[in-house]
Every structure is written in structure tokens, then in C-alpha cells.
Amino acid sequence: MTPSTDDLPRHAALKQFPVLDDCLQLGGVLLTRLAERVGRTPFYAYERNHIQSRVELLRHALPPGVHLHYAMKANPMPAVVHLLAGLVDGFDVASAGEMRTALDTGMPPSRVSLAGPGKSSAELRSAVAAGVLVHLESDEEMQRVAAVGELLGITPRVAVRVNPDFELKHAGMKMAGGARQFGVDAVRVPAMLRRLGRMGLEFHGFHLFCGAQNLSAAAICEAQRLCVRLGLELAEFAPSPVRSLNIGGGFGVPYFPGERALDLAAVADGLGATMAMLRREWPDTRLILELGRYLVAEAGIYVCRVIERKQSHGQVFLITDGGMHHHLAASGNFGQVLRKNFPVAIGNRLHGGARETVSVVGPLCTPLDLLADRMELARADVGDLVVVFQSGAYGLTASPTAFLGHPAPLEVLV
């Protein structure tokens, strides 16, 4: 039988985690047992080995000397961040809250950078006091950082986040090129660098982040090359040598039927050539890649339980105790234009006997609360466990957990 498109995610899921007696296993634990151990549904579970292997894969594939940073916004669960502290070279944080979690791991502040528009004065004070690298997103922010440094008697460590003129092609989310709230337009950077040199700030380099969720190796390589070239051009105006050049990441993961995993070997090839270009000019500059979802998305699942089977006009609905309030992305409301199903399976009946086409919904009074829209799954009963794969990034903390007052899901690292 030819697999339908809905079978594709099921196959991808089967490849990522072992299956015993038709039940998914995570970290060597059967899902049914893990659910007992967690104590209640819904929950997110992240697999330690999966994260470790992903970092090893990158270390093996990427050219030597590339520094790997984890963008904590993808998954700031403290246990996950602690695990990654021992595996990566630094953290990118997006708030003072994330910065506290990052520093709690023992990661040296010199390996932590704070980026994002609209940093509050309190955040800037904490960041300068901590000694982390502040990515300046505007001239105005530069002045506020300098004032904080003067007030505290500390020289702030800064890098300039540049909004380049080019954009990252094929990115699920574009974050550079044209009018943006992120970074400083490239054309304004030379003048800003001249002012920076007179402000009592310790200049470290540049940060460029062009976009996220890209599955095209060619587009990523092109953006990386352009980022390094722009960094080299802007360095002419810098008050001191460029110690670090953070060229972002944007490595995507396949969520939907028909999507293919990123060709890491092709990315590594392109980056090798880009590194060589950088090394010719600046042998000592640290080249940083900043990755979020690529490190954690595929290591995580979201698990909820079937509460009721319901029929309406010939369609079967599995009503569960989880939904969009816990997993906004899987419901299709986190940046998707056209809703598509995340890979979903019945975790304790992975293949199942009979199969049927069902919609998986949550307990919220809105049709947006949809985890799977007319998908072919194993026939499930009340009490069975629905699993949403590719859920290790932008899950819990990217969801409106307070909406309608249901309990928040738990999280475990296994």
C-alpha cells in the first residue's frame, strides 16, 4: 500500500525513538510508564540522549573552530539548559530571566550574550553587572548601556547587532533585510561604531540573525557568506579588532509532511569556505553559530490523554486533556499561514490494529484548539496517550497556558 501523506510523520517519529510492544520509548522508558512516573498528563518530555547526539552530530559535521551557542528561547527548561551547558560553548539569552537560568548553570558570563529589542533599563543593569555580552539593537540602547556602565563603574561588553540589507531566503521566519525592529540597519553601523569608540564600552564584534526555521542548506550557506563579508566590511569602522562574529543560525527541522531534514553536510561545506574567507582576514576571531530549535525540537514530545471519543456528522474527535494552550505551535497558531498537522501518533498504540481518520482536539471552547486535523492514527480509546512529536522547541513557553484556566503541563528530561 502506498503511504498517504499523513503516514510520513508516523515514519519520521518511528525513526527517532525506539518502540517496544507497540509503545514509544523515551530515554529507555516506555511511554505508559513515563506517564505514571510524571504523575499526570499532559506533559512535555525531552530526551537527554537525543540532545547530546544532536550536538555531537554538529561538532562532527561543522568545520573545526566554529563556536556553538544555544539560543535558550527555544527551550528554557532549567534541566535542559543545564544539560546543554556541558555541551555547547555559550548561550544566547533574550531576557534577564533567561540570563539568570543561563548563569545558574555555571556558564561563564563571558560566554553569554543578551539580544532582543526593547531591553529594559533593569535588564541592562543586570546584564552589565553580570558581565554578559550585550547585543546593541540601536543607538539609543548603546547610550543607555553606556550610562548603566558609568553608574555601576563597570565597562559594559557590547557587540552591535546588524540588520543587513539581504534576507535569508526560504526561512520560515525572516528577521533581517528591510525595515526591522531588530538590530541596526547596516548603513547606520559605521557612524554608530565611531560613537561607540568614544563611549567607554568594550567592543567585541557583530551579531547578525537573518531568520529561523530554514531547511535549505544553499540559502543558509549564502546568508552565512554574506554575513561574514558584511562583518569584514563593517570592521573597517570598528574601534578595536573584532573578537567575535555571531552569524546566527536558522537551521530548521522538518515538521510537516513532505519536508526534508536539513542537509548538514552541505551546510558544513559552505561554512568551511566561509570560515576560510574569515580566517584569511581575521585568524583569531571567534565565529559563533546560534542555534535553538535544531538542538532541541526533535528531542521533545508533548503527551496528552484521550478523555472522550466523540462523533459528529460522521467525523471522529478524540478530545484530550491537552491542546493549544500548552502547544500553540502544534495547533497551527504560532506563525503558520496555512495550518498543517505536526507529526502525531497514539504513543501506546504506535502502529495499532485498526486505524482510523480522526481529529485530535483539546478542552478549550474554540475551534483553534486542534492538535491534529483529520489524521490517520491507530484507533484510540479513552485513556490512550496522544503524542505530538517535534515538540522540544517553542512548546510550553511559547503557549498561552493561562487561557481558560486549565492546569499547565509538566516537563521532564529523561
The answer to whether 163 touches 211, Cβ cutoff 8 Å, is no
The answer to whether 136 touches 188, Cβ cutoff 8 Å, is no
Q: Is the peptide bond before 42 cis (omega within 30 degrees of 0)?
A: yes
Residues in 234-263 that interact with ligand PLP by CB under 6 A: 249
Smallest distance, ligand PLP to C-beta of residue 95, A: 12
Which amino acid makes up residue 5?
T
The single residue among 91, 282, 294, 389 that binds ligand PLP, judged by CB under 6 A, is 294
Per-residue interface string for the shown chain with ligand PLP, residues 115-144, x marking contact by CB under 6 A: x-----------------------------
Which grid cell sits at 172? 520560515
Residue 213 contacts ligand PLP per CB under 6 A: yes
With CB under 6 A as the contact rule, which of the stretches 8-16, 228-236, 285-293, 335-343 interacts with ligand PLP? Answer: 285-293
DSSP 36-82: HHH-SSSEEEE-HHHHHHHHHHHHHHSPTTEEEEEEGGG---HHHHH
Q: From CA 83, how far away is CA 69, in angstroms rounded? A: 13
Which grid cell sits at 288? 559563533
- 123-to-22, 90, 296, 333, 358 alpha-carbon distances in Å: 49, 19, 26, 29, 47
Nearer to ligand PLP, 125 or 207 (CB): 207
Which grid cell sits at 160? 552591535
Site size for ligand PLP, by CB under 6 A? Answer: 16
Nearer to ligand PLP, 212 or 386 (CB): 212
CA angle 258, 261, 262 (to 5 degrees): 130
Q: From CA 384, how far away is CA 347, in angstroms rounded? A: 8
The single residue among 141, 290, 369, 411 that binds ligand PLP, judged by CB under 6 A, is 290
Nearer to ligand PLP, 164 or 249 (CB): 249
Which amino acid makes up residue 92?
D
Helix, strand, coil tally for the chain in percent (to 5)? 35, 25, 40
The single residue among 6, 47, 92, 141 that binds ligand PLP, judged by CB under 6 A, is 92
Per-residue interface string for the shown chain with ligand PLP, residues 370-399, x marking contact by CB under 6 A: -----------------------x------
With CB under 6 A as the contact rule, which of the stretches 209-217, 225-233, 269-277, 309-317 interacts with ligand PLP? Answer: 209-217
The single residue among 62, 68, 74, 146 that binds ligand PLP, judged by CB under 6 A, is 74
Residue 293 contacts ligand PLP per CB under 6 A: yes
Smallest distance, ligand PLP to C-beta of residue 285, A: 19
The answer to whether 179 touches 227, Cβ cutoff 8 Å, is no
The single residue among 71, 142, 217, 235 that binds ligand PLP, judged by CB under 6 A, is 71
With CB under 6 A as the contact rule, which of the stretches 36-44, 99-107, 208-216, 339-347 interacts with ligand PLP? Answer: 208-216
Residues in 139-178 that interact with ligand PLP by CB under 6 A: 175
- 213-to-221, 255, 262, 390 alpha-carbon distances in Å: 14, 10, 10, 13
Q: From CA 114, how far away is CA 144, in angstroms rounded? A: 15
Nearer to ligand PLP, 93 or 345 (CB): 93
Nearer to ligand PLP, 292 or 300 (CB): 292
Nearer to ligand PLP, 17 or 70 (CB): 70
Smallest distance, ligand PLP to C-beta of residue 293, A: 4
The answer to whether 146 touches 156, Cβ cutoff 8 Å, is yes
- Which residue's Cβ lies closest to ligand PLP? 292
Among residues 243, 142, 241, 227, which one has the least CA distance to residue 191? 142
Per-residue interface string for the shown chain with ligand PLP, residues 3-42, x marking contact by CB under 6 A: ----------------------------------------
- Contact positions toward ligand PLP, by CB under 6 A? 71, 73-74, 92, 115, 175, 209, 212-213, 249, 290-294, 393
